[in-house]
Structures are given as C-alpha cells and as structure tokens.
Amino acid sequence: MTLAEVLPSVNASFNGVSACALFTGYWAIRTKRFALHWKCMAVAFTASALFLAGYLTRFALTGVHRYQGPGRTFYLVLLGTHTVLAVLALPLILRTMWLSAVRRKYASHRRIAVWTWPVWAYVSVTGVVVYWMLYRL
C-alpha cells in the first residue's frame, strides 16, 4: 500500500482518538478530575494536529475525492458543516488551549471552552463519518 492509500484510514483514526479524548475530557472536567482533563485535552489536541498534517499530506498527494455513494445530499450537508466548523475550530482550539496551558486564566478558558468543545467534538465525530461514507460505504 502507498502512503496515499493508508492516510485516509490513519486520519480517521486520529479523528476517532480525538473524539474519544474529548468526551473523556468532558467527563473528567465535570467530575473535577482536572489532571485527567488536561491529559485528555492534550491527547485530543495532538491527535487533531496529526490529523491535520495527514489530511494536508493526503490532499497534496491525491487532491479532491468525489462521493459516489447513496445519500449524496446528506453527505454534502455533513461535509459542508464539517468543513466550515473545522475552519472555525482551529482558532477556537488554539485560544482555549493557550488560555489554560500558557496563561492559566481558567475563568476565561471556561468561557470559550463552552463554545470550543461542541464544535471540536462535532468536527472529530463527523470526520470519522465522512471517512466512512467516502471510503467504506
């Protein structure tokens, strides 16, 4: 298998890891397990960063892939919302992480995290669904 053939599955795995870490991190912060929350968010951030690097590499190697399966309208709506929110997620994620890890302004971190988390979780979960529809359906 070539790199271009392996990258979609690897990228979907990174999205899956990010989603699992995000949901576990959400549970951790709700149960006041602050150290676990920080570790989960670090895993989610790392997995998302590796996904982005892998996605850009795959795109550079193979370009745009057209969906040919059933439910094309659903796929396009899902892909559209996923793409728009992914673009919005990046600055939100960076700001949220920076407020917590660098500035240690936890009140400010909390105020933006209530917006960042659902966007990031949606992008991570829908990334796996988009992969499944495009490459497995």
- DSSP letters along 47-63, please? HHHHHHHHHHHHHHHH-
The domain limits of the chain are 3-136
Q: Give, as one character, the DSSP assignment of residue 70.
A: S
Q: What is the pLDDT of residues 93-103, one digit of tens each?
A: 999 999 999 99
Q: What is the pLDDT of residues 60-71, one digit of tens each?
A: 999 999 999 999
pLDDT of 23 = 98
With a CB cutoff of 8 Å and minimum separation 6, the contacts of 45 are 93, 97
pLDDT of 12 = 98
Q: What is the pLDDT of residues 23-35, one digit of tens each?
A: 999 999 999 999 9
pLDDT of 100 = 96
pTM of the predicted model, to two decimals?
0.94
> If we measure between CA atoms, which residue out of 133, 2, 11 comes closest to residue 67?
133
What would the mean pLDDT of 107-126 be, rounded to a whole number? 98
With a CB cutoff of 8 Å and minimum separation 6, the contacts of 28 are 34, 36, 37, 40
